[in-house]
Amino acid sequence: MSSGSNGSIPIRPSAMSRRIVRSERTTRRFYEGCGKVHAPVSMLFPPIDPNERFLARRAAARRRKRLRRGAAVGAVLVGVALLGAGAQFVGSGHPVVAENAQVVVASSSGPRALPVEIRGVHVSMGLASLPGKLDEYLDLERDGLTALELDVKDENGQIGFASRDIPLASKVGAVRDFYTPRAVAGLARERDVYLIGRVVVFEDPILSRARPDLAIRRSDRSVWRDSAGLGWTNPYDRRVWDYNVDVAVAAARAGFDEIMFDYVRFPSDGDVQSAVYGNRGALTKREAVPAFLRYAAGRLERYDVRMSAAVFGLSATRDLGIGQLPRHMAPHVDALYAMTYPSLFGPGELGIADPSQAPGETVSRALRRFSSTLRGSDVLVVPWVQDFTFTTPFEIEQVRAQIDAARRAGAKGFMLWNAEGVYTDGALAAP
């Protein structure tokens, strides 16, 4: 793999990556408006075997499902028995015999084991489509890479591959031919790299434009858009849930090891007060996101795939009004990926005058907040590490400071984020 003069993988910025950088600016403005918080409480994350955790969580879910099915089958058998008794009483005297019903539960060997430490990078679907580029990222395994996060559905609403499991995607024009998912999964397994599929959920310019009935609207029935001019789908609408989980199922069936739901929240910028939501039912914002995750977990439990969600770094400090409450999300996922980018915290946040100038301390305090709010939960917490320059130059010293802080906090690992896919040499080294 070739390296640039700054010791990073050189990749030309795309229009999509430039838009993501603009989104990072928007996130920064949102963070700056959130005010200060109190001093954190220190607590290490519990040293629980994540593979045993996954199997235990899935076994419990399947027990609940078997009990529900058993109750339903029992009710049917009772009904059949009663009908048989009645038929025997009024008929020819021949009893009606019902066959024993059986509930078949698919057996599975479980998911691939998690790496001892997750050391991963984000890869966009556009980059993955370039000849030989995915191999270059997988080559980072020599430098310490153990996991790779690949976009399955991105911020533009694009889906990286065609699948018969997602008919609506073709109808609305979301399908792209960026990569073949089974081939990618096979390649990752050959290299012993854990593969995470990122599914951006509610920010979806394509679906909201093609299906306004599924979008967040304005009072005049037009599609609501955020400060970047992007449409969002309605987090309350079960048809939106189905669409995104269909995408996740397609990736799971192709062999991805984990599905990470991102933008699993309500909009945070733009004229959010003018947003109109249909099909709300009885759900509140605080309930909608956990309800979606519970629904997704139910549909994905039959596959050997873990499930996770990305959350704002500030979501552990207080309710941000976007439906992201880690404590309520944790029961439905195996991991939460916290976006603890120091440059996106405003001055004074977490009790730090300028978080971008103190990357290690910022990540340390943010993770302590997650540890505190998730006390008693067995969910894993993995921070997203800032490997890009926003207002303050971030080089290996700043990147390593965040990673060291994550390790001291007892996190399961870390993921490097750079919208352009350019990662700093040395950042992925093992401890």
| pLDDT tens digit sequence for 20-58 | 445 555 555 555 555 433 333 223 344 445 566 566 666
Q: Name the amino acid, one letter, at 360.
A: G
Structure pTM?
0.81
Statement: residue 144 has pLDDT above 50: yes
| pLDDT tens digit sequence for 367-417 | 999 999 999 999 999 999 999 999 899 999 999 999 999 999 999 999 999
Q: Name the amino acid, one letter, at 430.
A: A
Count the alpha carbons within 13 Å of 331 in the hemisphere toward its beta carbon: 11
Better-scored residue on pLDDT, 95 or 384: 384
Q: What is the pLDDT of residue 391?
A: 86
Q: What is the pLDDT of residue 49?
A: 55
- Taking the C-alpha atoms of residue 288 and residue 60, their distance in angstroms, rounded to an integer, is 23
Nearest to 272 by CA among 227, 312, 315: 227
Least confident of 95-104, 138-147, 238-247, 334-343: 95-104
Q: Name the amino acid, one letter, at 1.
A: M
pLDDT band at residue 106, thresholds of 50, 70 and 90? very low
Measured over the CA atoms of residue 320, residue 61, residue 166 and residue 130, the dihedral's sign is positive
Q: Give me the mean pLDDT over the 189-207 stretch.
A: 98
Q: Give me the mean pLDDT over the 327-340 stretch.
A: 98
Q: What is the pLDDT of residue 26?
A: 56
238-254 helix and 181-190 helix, angle to the nearest 10 degrees: 50
Q: What is the pLDDT of residue 145?
A: 98
> Which residue reads 């700056």 in tokens?
32
Q: Are 343 and 28 in contact (CB under 8 A)?
A: yes
Q: What is the pLDDT of residue 51?
A: 61
Q: Give me the mean pLDDT over the 297-323 stretch.
A: 96
What the block records as the tokens of 296 is 């997704």
End-to-end CA distance of the chain: 23
Better-scored residue on pLDDT, 431 or 86: 431
Q: What is the pLDDT of residue 239?
A: 98
pLDDT band at residue 299, thresholds of 50, 70 and 90? very high
Q: What is the pLDDT of residue 281?
A: 86
Statement: residue 197 has pLDDT above 80: yes
Statement: residue 282 has pLDDT above 70: yes
Statement: residue 138 has pLDDT above 60: yes
Q: Are 199 and 261 in contact (CB under 8 A)?
A: yes
- Taking the C-alpha atoms of residue 416 and residue 407, their distance in angstroms, rounded to an integer, is 14
Better-scored residue on pLDDT, 87 or 253: 253
Burial class (CB in 10 A: 0-12, 13-18, 19+), 104: exposed
Q: Give me the mean pLDDT over the 239-247 stretch.
A: 98
- Taking the C-alpha atoms of residue 126 and residue 132, their distance in angstroms, rounded to an integer, is 12
Statement: residue 8 has pLDDT above 50: no
Least confident of 5-19, 142-156, 298-312, 381-395: 5-19
What the block records as the tokens of 19 is 């838009």
Statement: residue 172 has pLDDT above 80: yes
Better-scored residue on pLDDT, 181 or 96: 181
Round the average pLDDT of the chain to a whole number and report it.
83
